[in-house]
Structure 1
Amino acid sequence: MTNTALLVMDVQNMIVDRFQDDGYLPRLARAVDAARDAGIPVIYVVVGFRPGYPEVHPRNKVFGPMAERGFEPDEASTAVAAAVAPRPGEVVIAKKRISGFAGSDLDLVLRSGGIEHLVLTGIATSGVVLSTLTQAADLDFRLTVLADGCFDSDPEVHRVLTEKVFTRHADVVTVDAWTKTLTGA
């Protein structure tokens, strides 16, 4: 059993549709396929609220407007993008705030599975990836970030985070470099 898990975070249709990078989903799919082939669990972290959004406070600048836009569970817009969608039996964690740990049972699932090393991917680099990385570092997880497995609407913010900030807490590599370590190629 591996002590590593690949986290695919906020790669939901409504979020993916806001960004333009035709190479992102195929690149991320390579990472997901490589993890599965290596026996590494793929865990999906998604934004998920109950109908009526009882978890969303109107003062929350990020999530407050979602109640007006529609972000109901079980809608096509909130599903994980088809190119990287979970297979039956893969864990999907619903979170209530930006970090994958906030309002979710992510820590419980990871610790119950003996996971000590997290490989982070997702949208956006300055949102879920940054918040989850910071909390995971505080929880003493070993961390790897797949720089091109993350995406942000601001390329400069993405660059600064992956080249200067994340390196304080994690190994930062490309999808291709990471998949090569799994295959020994």
Structure 2
Amino acid sequence: MTDLTLPAATTAVLVVDMQNDNLHPDGAFAASGAAAHAAEQDVVANVGAVLVAARAAGAAVVHNQIVVHPGRPSGGTNAPIFRMLGPESLLVGSWGAAAVEGTEPVGDELVLQRIRMSAFNGTALDTVLRNYGIDRVVVVGVWTNMAVEHTVRDAADAGYEVTIVSDATSSINADWQRAALGYALTNIATVATTTEVVEAFTRS
């Protein structure tokens, strides 16, 4: 995809849920296959490469994290995905909720926390992006068929041009990854590789 264009001044990278519990081998959800698929995708290194290129180009980077607050289930129990969160996993301030090594925020990069699936739900993300002058976003992170997909859909509905990075995202297995990228998101976003995104930022 040599024609991918990512003008640094109007593009932001959205880093979704790159947290220890979500993809680290010692994380709360490792047994689900999430850690293994993240390793298979080399997602930490690929997200890191996208971030290096975006920062070098001067593009905005916004980190978004799903968290659990102590006490009552603030994230709700209305869906199976919410019921599997907490009380210990992704607890605010814990190692599990922290950014996985190699993808941490740098400098004044904004970190937004939320309790629902989409990075736009219950956060100031849309307002922040518009204040930054952003009209297109590059989405990286985990899990592709959950928070990443919700975020991509909401970004497109909000009017942003969206690129999802196929090898800088991961799920709990390759089948779920293929389903999300090949069926759910192919008509909503541009699907590109880490190499293509890095090259686009280098040209910007």
TM-score greater than 0.5 by the shorter chain: yes
Q: Which has the higher contact order (CA 8 A, sep 6+)?
A: 2
Give the match for residue 7 of structure 1.
14
Query: Aligned match of 1:167 in 170, 180, 186?
Result: 186
Q: Is the 8 A contact 1:48 1:96 kept in 2?
A: yes
- Deviation per CA, 1:6-49, whole angstroms, max 9, x where unpaired? 01100100111221216221111101100000101111010124
Name the CA shift for 1:160/1:57 in 2 (closer, same or farther; >3 Å). Answer: closer
Which residue in 2 is equivalent to 1:61?
80
* Structure 2 residue 199 is the aligned partner of structure 1 residue 180: yes
SS of the residue 2:113 aligns to: strand
Counterpart AA for 1:30? A
Where in structure 2 are there 5+ consecutive unaligned residues? 1-7, 25-29
Structure 1 residue ranges, 4+ long, deviating more than 3 angstroms after superposition: none
Q: Which runs of 5 or more structure 1 residues have no equivalent in the other structure?
A: none
Q: How many residues align?
A: 185
Tell me whether 109-118 or 42-51 shows the greater mean CA deviation.
42-51
Aligned to 2:27: none
- Correspondence 1:69-88 to 2 at 5 A: 69-88=88-107
Q: Per-residue deviation at 1:118?
A: 0.7
CA RMSD of aligned residues (A): 1.8
- Distance in 1 of aligned mates of 2:115 and 2:124: 11
Distance in 1 (alpha carbons) for counterparts of 2:56 and 2:49: 10
1:119 alignment partner, SS class: strand
**CA offset at residue 54 of structure 1?**
5.1
Structure 1 position 130, deviation (Å): 0.8
Mapped to 1, the partners of 2:15 and 2:133 lie a distance apart of: 18
Is residue 146 of structure 1 aligned with residue 153 of structure 2?
A: no
- What is the TM-score of this pair, normalised by structure 1? 0.92
Query: Is 1:90 paired with 2:103?
Result: no
Residue 124 of structure 1: aligned partner? 143
TM-score, normalised via structure 2 length: 0.84
Letter in 1 for 2:133: G
